[in-house]
A and B are shown apart, each in its own frame.
Chain A
Amino acid sequence: MSGLFDLLLTKPLSDLLLRGLLFVAFTLHILFALLTLGTAFLAFYYFIHAWCGRRLHEWRWDKDILRTFLAHKSFAVVMLILVPMLLTRQFIQDRKWLSFAEQLQTNAANYEKELGPYSEEALRQYQSNLRIACDKGETIYSRSCAFCHGDDARGNGPEAKNLQILPEDISAVRTTRSYFHRILVDGISGSAMPYFTYFDRNKLQGLVDHLDKRYHMIGLPGPISVKICSEALEQAKKVYTETCSACHGTDGRGSELSRRFKPPPPDFTAYSLSPWRAFEIITNGYPGTVMASFLNLKEEVRWGLIEILNAKRKAH
């Protein structure tokens, strides 16, 4: 009986106690099932009775049968059914179920042994996670963004190598608050960049603030340090109208065609990159996207294209 005082069931119950408990439990269950069945039977009986109306009412025998059925016969029937059922159940249980349960217990013990070595590490991770609250921009960046964009936001996180479309170098982005918020809310279709609406607006604004503080990403792109002669600028304008505008649109917002691209090009009236980063993309293309390399253009023309883009941004 010591098993009864083992409040947390740390030890297995003794055989006798287990069988006793099971016997009581099954008895209760079967009694309950019979009661339910009996109630359903009665309900059905009354339903028929009401439905057939007076005709059935004249049959006196039903009430007598009902009364005796409820009083003595039901008890006899219950005992007649119950006792053999329980004995059979117990018999089968001894032969089949107990050995099966033993097998399960051995399996569980073996599995537990296999998991044992991981226990300490799991608890350590749990404890360190408990200390992290994702409510500040800095925490959100390091937990939700850094594995792709990298700790220094240069788009070189540990997972960047697994992505065809490389993560953007956030430190070079120069955009508006609302455009950035929209990227966070919608994600970028066709790329790995997901949406972040599982952070409420205040938290996303905190993230924007954090990135702006570190990389000054809200605002206009800086001036171009290279001198561009007017000839190159003219040529750049020609290149933009003839080539770039097919995807980026004459106004820089993206053409009808490119909206279906995965990912679509950014809206240049709200989104720019620092000049050197823009130069890098025009020169090498953006891996994984439609944006191709324009290494064939003269260096000065490429700078000229950036000048054009910056002008489009400043116009808005």
Chain B
Amino acid sequence: MDFPIFQVPYLGNGTTIALNAILHVVISHGVAIGVMAMITISEYIGLKRSSGKWEAFSKDLLKLAVIIITGVGAVTGVGIWFITSALSPRGIGSMLRVFFWPWFIEWVVFTLEVIVILIYYFTWKRWTGEKKRAHIYLGFTYLLLALCSAFLITGILGFMLTPNGWPWSKNFWSAFFNPTFLPQLLLRIAGGFGLGILFSAGFLLFKRREELFRHEALRFFGKGVLISLVGSFIFSWWYFKVVPSSFKTNAIFSVLTSHFSQQPELFWMANLIAGALILLFSLSGLRGRILPSKVLILPVILLSIGFVTEYETAREFIRGPYLMPGYMFANRVLLKENLFFDKNGTIENSYWYNQTVTRPDIIAQGAYLFGQNCSACHTIGGINDIGDRVRGRSEDGFFVILKHTHEMVPFMPPCSGTDNERRILASFLYQLSAGEIEIGAPSRFIRLRLKKK
């Protein structure tokens, strides 16, 4: 098509985006919303109960939070833009066309967030006594801005699964306030609070020694974990209730992958055990038990991050064949373009390919067709290796299956191109599975020769 195709070796393009995104979600939800909420509330409790311990606790935690939010949080946020611009320019470009203003507003909101959090941090010592109340308001102002960010981004993320009437009407408001918007927003807030409370509890358990304060704060956090756990459960149930069943049916597979798909009970068992452990932690917190809480906190934090990963994976995966449902397939071919390519050819209409390739080499064509149709999800020799996926099939089998990918696999986009192009791709895949060709090893980027002028 009209952009160069990059294929990240080993990890693959999807996983690369996912790794960055999940780290960003854990920080933006867990720290920027959750921990910051706990900090502001702790400061408020400190004022209410005139307790220096609560005040000192929230101040020490703030330093850590500011560094993480403005460092890792901001970098991974920009990272998403950078990575998607390189790996999926057409996808992110189309998303920008629909959601230009929400993203623009989000940029302003994020800048304000950083300014407010820095003021909040640097005025801690100066705004005391009379001004303490104003300082706490500043904290809540930050929280409000962070929730605005969540509001804006959730509309866009929800659209990518349930665009509602947008494919037909192109109506912005129905795209933004789509069916999964509200449950997802509430789920993200509940989950973010839960993660934040767990992070704060970890800080409390390992960085505070005063017995009385530890008990008091732990009981408070235990209550918080319980509420967020129940909230997350209810909202995720609501969320999956709204998701159309043609997507939802792939949720369990998205988590288990083909390694474990034949033991579906693993899915329920793992989730149940993880949920039970988090519940156990919140109960031990409620009772103010230090030792069991200390033992549980690290596994529970890891499990919660696991829950975040699980949810994001499922949400991204089940939208399956689409990047923008009703408009664009996951391999960045437009729905209408797919029909056009089937009739008129993919290669012939690929601006970038025709600019770079010198002669119609059949392997280069096959490699390009792979890059165009498959490389959004599959790698050559890495995670979700196409070699593993096709091993043992016959060449005519490839040809037939390539015509039916979207029917055969409910979450796979169609392979676009004429019958002849499908034959080229089939022969490329067959040779690849037989180990007869190697592409740009060891980097496994698709190597195409530059046209000489």
Residues of chain A touching chain B, judged by Cβ–Cβ distance below 8 Å, are 7-9, 114-116, 118-119, 121-123, 125-126, 129-135, 143-144, 147-148, 159, 162-165, 185, 187-194, 197-202, 204, 262
Contacts and interface: CB of A to CB of B under 8 A. Distances in A.
A200 B326 contact: no
Report whether over half of chain A's contact residues are helix, strand or loop; otherwise say mixed: loop
Contacts of B256: 200
Contacts of A7: 101, 172
B85 interface: no
Contacts of A165: 394
A199 B249 CA distance: 10
Nearest to B399: A162
B337 interface: yes
A173 B448 CA distance: 48
A219 B97 CA distance: 58
A204 B263 CA distance: 12
B400 interface: yes
Interface string B298-326: 00000000000000000000000000011
Given A159-B404, A162-B400, A163-B400, A122 B245 contact: no
A205 to B, nearest CB: 10
Contact of B339 (A121, A133, A204): A121
A197 B335 contact: no
Interface of B: 97-98, 100-101, 167-168, 172, 244-246, 248-250, 252-253, 256, 258, 261-264, 325-326, 334-340, 392-394, 396-401, 403-404, 406-411
Contacts of B101: 7-8
10 closest A-B pairs by beta carbon, nearest first, are A192-B397, A189-B392, A122-B335, A197-B258, A118-B336, A122-B336, A118-B339, A133-B245, A134-B410, A200-B264
Nearest to B259: A197
Given A143-B408, A143-B410, A144-B407, A193 B397 contact: yes
A277 B396 CA distance: 24
B264 A130 contact: no
A198 B253 contact: yes
10 contacts: A9-B97, A130-B325, A134-B246, A143-B408, A162-B396, A163-B400, A190-B392, A193-B397, A200-B262, A201-B264
A182 to B, nearest CB: 10
A123 B407 CA distance: 16
B409 A198 contact: yes
Given A115-B334, A131-B246, A144-B409, 12 more contacts: A8-B100, A114-B340, A122-B338, A133-B249, A159-B400, A162-B400, A163-B394, A189-B392, A192-B394, A194-B401, A197-B261, A202-B264
A135 B339 CA distance: 27
Report whether over half of chain B's contact residues are helix, strand or loop; otherwise say mixed: helix
Contacts of A116: 336
A204 B264 CA distance: 11
A228 B257 CA distance: 51
A118 B340 contact: yes
A191 B407 contact: no
B167 A126 contact: yes
A143 B339 CA distance: 19
A129 B394 CA distance: 29
Contacts of B408: 143-144, 147, 194
Contacts of A190: 392, 394
A159 B403 contact: yes
Given A133-B249, A201-B261, A123 B397 contact: no
A196 to B, nearest CB: 9
Contacts of A197: 258, 261-262
A147 B168 contact: no
Nearest to B338: A122
Contacts of A192: 393-394, 396-398, 400-401
Nearest to B404: A147
Given A9-B97, A147-B407, A135 B335 contact: no
Contacts of A187: 392-393
A130 B400 contact: no
Contacts of A189: 392
B326 to A, nearest CB: 5
A293 B334 CA distance: 49
Contacts of B326: 123, 126
A191 B397 contact: yes
A202 B252 CA distance: 11
Contacts of A122: 334-336, 338-339
Nearest to B244: A130
A59 B337 CA distance: 68
B246 A129 contact: yes
Q: Most chain-B Cβ atoms within 10 A of its Cβ — which of A9, A121, A164, A194?
A: A194
B410 to A, nearest CB: 4
A162 to B, nearest CB: 5
Q: Most chain-B Cβ atoms within 10 A of its Cβ — which of A132, A192, A200?
A: A200
Given A7-B172, A115-B337, A199 B253 contact: yes
B172 A163 contact: no
Contacts of B253: 198-200
Contact of B249 (A114, A119, A135, A144): A135
A131 B399 CA distance: 27
A162 B403 CA distance: 11
B341 to A, nearest CB: 10
A129 B409 CA distance: 12
Nearest to A204: B262
A200 B266 CA distance: 11
Given A130-B244, A148-B400, A194-B397, A115 B340 contact: yes
Contacts of B264: 200-202
